[in-house]
Structure 1
């Protein structure tokens, strides 16, 4: 049955219909865009019922020679547009010149498109401008999402054959830390069984990645101790009484529960995305503490945001996200992007109403399996991120039992320490882990210059 489905998919690839448009100008940007910008839809799933929307930006350096990167924003359900304008794309909002319902763009001098061709994909279906023609199409999971991303890539490259020979990297951050390695496994398996077209996969890039949610979140207590957010005495007591289990403790263990309440009292009101920035609760001031809440990683609700900036109080990063709602829901903008009319009632930066099955609890087995494939891997973490602490990411990387090729050391930008890095090897496989000093969840949003330098060096096979 699986072989027959591959035959059907191959036939679909040959007869597919791809909608794409080259965008020369955009509302909010003065003059012509100084880079090649394309948007479009590609069908996936049964009878192409799922229509995945993408933004594609050619490398501003050398499209023919530079790598091709597929970018998946996390969530799940956060639009690729968020990654484009708030993290690694060539456009960003000019907050000084934007006002009311008139967002204004400026160019990002640290865009990753200066060294790579990047496809920003609205995935899974229901994210951004992606939609399904049937209600059944909205029932997705981690594995279905990865399968559809792989199908999208094959079709996109069939329609853009000039990029077939470019080195391909799959990239993403936050919850995409789970999806990216599954996609890489899909591509690797497909190449081995002869799927067409063959993809020139070289590796993958992950930022502040969710990997094993329980262990990622369990590392918050250690992180809090290392950052002096809790006392050494409280850390030792919590570790002893809870026996290292902080997310699913024994409810009858009174000593553990008391320690965890004390930990929550210490860290519960911090902004988990960056402990150095103010925490602006847009729903409720009730602290999340150690509990897992995917919504806390996106934490902006447009109905509340619309009024928040007018209230007295500290500046908050979430205020920046308001402009994306205003801009992307403008009918003139949607016409400029060639959005299909009637396919979206309202654009959300992060869709929290997805019908989504979290069926991969731990992505670590995918990483382990990919070691023998000889890929290059870059994993980076903002060191001020409490949501997915770097110490948890470090721990699962160490569990891969790779050989250290270059031990822990600082890396620099403009003569200043930009973070710390360690490089691992296993035959042809290589993994670079880097912290980004001062970076949050996610790092390029907080430290764009440093993250651009990191990526540029890594793509060029230089040490950070």
Structure 2
């Protein structure tokens, strides 16, 4: 096997990618992009331009078909930036970003009565100033499908498939070739996205066509390495979730290592058990939010471990106050045939829609820090932001790897404001990386505090200081 970071490896990938692009031009596979003017649950025609479609990445129609939602900028699509959104998971549908975070519509959170769930407009949609492709990758996620889906589910395959998808999408949408291009993602996507950006940059340098006008990226509460857990203890202590005595004991008994604990270290294991007990009634995504058992199942142990619980709706209906209730409404919405018809979903390709499909995914990238370093050397802009009430990927772990990049500070720690109130704190580095906290927000910041994240995004994408 060729090592994944050798020059021969990248040469092989270049040949493979070029061959696949050539196949796209020579085979009868055609992209299927269709305008969506009405959606069940929304009153009247959509006041924004929505396109859905498939792009084939393989040699046959049922080999690898990637589904996407594309929302054109509501401002000036000819000049506004083009963005690609990837959800975390790994294996969560891009519909999560579309309906729960930054897209133009959302579910109306009310008790399900058996009819098609209602949709409402999101006033803080990032599509107000940006065109966004929401893509269902890795394969098997959302409405994307493949003949042998388990053969296509790993970190590196996600990297190559996303890169290939984007260049093919631009071939079919040449009117966006000159637009500035960014990738935006959050959570687990913090692992593969920097590698995807590096692949795009390398492809541009090697002359792959079409040229992608890559400018930078945005990552929210991103998983960056498999050492994030070691910062949860410090974070929990700083937020008053554990006592001074337990914190001191954990430091003594575990000596700063809370992940790979020696099974003979009974003191450390005992302290960790007490730590998890202290957090057992806390919403780990948002420590000031309501605690729901379903949410706890998602992240009971660690984002880096396999979990048996899926991220789609449970057999039991979540409580209306719970974050999962919105996910439950999505499964009901997608189970309606009128919805699938409106979105131009190919019949017989996907049975029950699941928001997140996590099984059979091979984790191969254990840290994305080296990719951030490479992207910094190439001068790409970046915005890294953290909801400051997230235990899953606490802001102190994100600050630690940014600090380790060892770039000088050009705009030191200060408040940023929305409507005269502190929205969070920010710092900018000489590698054009801006870091920001979002005050009072959780793991998926645009979902919890859209009124703060939208102005933060608007300023950054417009090259203005936060």
TM-score w.r.t. length of structure 1 = 0.93
- Secondary structure of 2:34's counterpart equals strand
- Deviating above 6 A after TM superposition, structure 1's stretches of 4 or more consecutive aligned residues are 283-287
User: Is 1:302 aligned to residue 313 of structure 2?
Assistant: yes
User: Is 1:339 aligned to residue 345 of structure 2?
Assistant: yes
Query: Aligned match of 2:205 in 187, 192, 198?
Result: 192
Query: Aligned match of 1:208 in 214, 217, 221?
Result: 221
* Aligned equivalents of 1:347, 1:237: Cα separation in 2: 46
* 1:14-48 alpha-carbon deviations (Å, 9 max, x no partner): 34511110011111111111111100000114557
Once the two structures are superposed, the pairs formed by residues 24-423 of structure 1 within 5 Å of their partners are: 24-45=37-58, 47=60, 49-96=63-110, 99-132=113-146, 134-135=147-148, 138-213=151-226, 215-282=227-294, 288=300, 292-293=304-305, 295=307, 300-306=311-317, 308-309=318-319, 315-353=321-359, 355-423=360-428
Contact 1:267 1:289 in 2 (8 A): no
* Aligned equivalents of 1:138, 1:73: Cα separation in 2: 20
- Secondary structure of 1:74's counterpart equals coil
- Secondary structure of 1:282's counterpart equals helix
Contact 2:41 2:118 in 1 (8 A): yes
Structure-2 change in CA distance of 1:359 and 1:129 (3 Å): same
- 1:361 Cα shift? 1.1
- Secondary structure of 2:287's counterpart equals coil
- Secondary structure of 2:191's counterpart equals helix
- Secondary structure of 1:370's counterpart equals helix
Give 5+ residue unaligned stretches, structure 2: 1-10
* Aligned equivalents of 2:383, 2:52: Cα separation in 1: 27
User: Is 1:11 aligned to residue 15 of structure 2?
Assistant: no
- 1:236 Cα shift? 2.1
What is the alpha-carbon root mean square deviation over aligned residues?
2.1
* 1:111-139 alpha-carbon deviations (Å, 9 max, x no partner): 0000100000011001000000x216643
Contact 2:295 2:323 in 1 (8 A): no
- 1:100 Cα shift? 3.4
* Aligned equivalents of 1:163, 1:294: Cα separation in 2: 39
* 1:213-236 alpha-carbon deviations (Å, 9 max, x no partner): 2x2111100110110111222212
Partner of 1:460: 462
- 1:293 Cα shift? 4.3
- Secondary structure of 2:314's counterpart equals helix
Q: Which segment drifts farther, 237-246 or 34-43?
A: 237-246
- 1:237 Cα shift? 1.9
Structure-2 change in CA distance of 1:207 and 1:283 (3 Å): closer
Query: Aligned match of 1:444 in 427, 443, 446?
Result: 446
* Aligned equivalents of 1:330, 1:286: Cα separation in 2: 26
* Aligned equivalents of 1:386, 1:10: Cα separation in 2: 42
Contact 2:40 2:116 in 1 (8 A): no
* 1:174-215 alpha-carbon deviations (Å, 9 max, x no partner): 1111121011011000001000001000001101101102x2
* Aligned equivalents of 1:198, 1:287: Cα separation in 2: 39
Structure-2 change in CA distance of 1:198 and 1:285 (3 Å): closer
Structure-2 change in CA distance of 1:4 and 1:387 (3 Å): closer
* 1:89-114 alpha-carbon deviations (Å, 9 max, x no partner): 00011224864333111110000000
Q: Which segment drifts farther, 261-270 or 183-192?
A: 261-270
* Aligned equivalents of 1:299, 1:407: Cα separation in 2: 41
Q: Which segment drifts farther, 110-119 or 14-23?
A: 14-23
* Aligned equivalents of 2:398, 2:134: Cα separation in 1: 25
Structure-2 change in CA distance of 1:262 and 1:333 (3 Å): same
- Secondary structure of 1:76's counterpart equals coil
* Aligned equivalents of 1:289, 1:280: Cα separation in 2: 15
Give 5+ residue unaligned stretches, structure 1: none
Contact 2:186 2:220 in 1 (8 A): yes
* Aligned equivalents of 2:241, 2:302: Cα separation in 1: 13
Structure-2 change in CA distance of 1:239 and 1:376 (3 Å): same
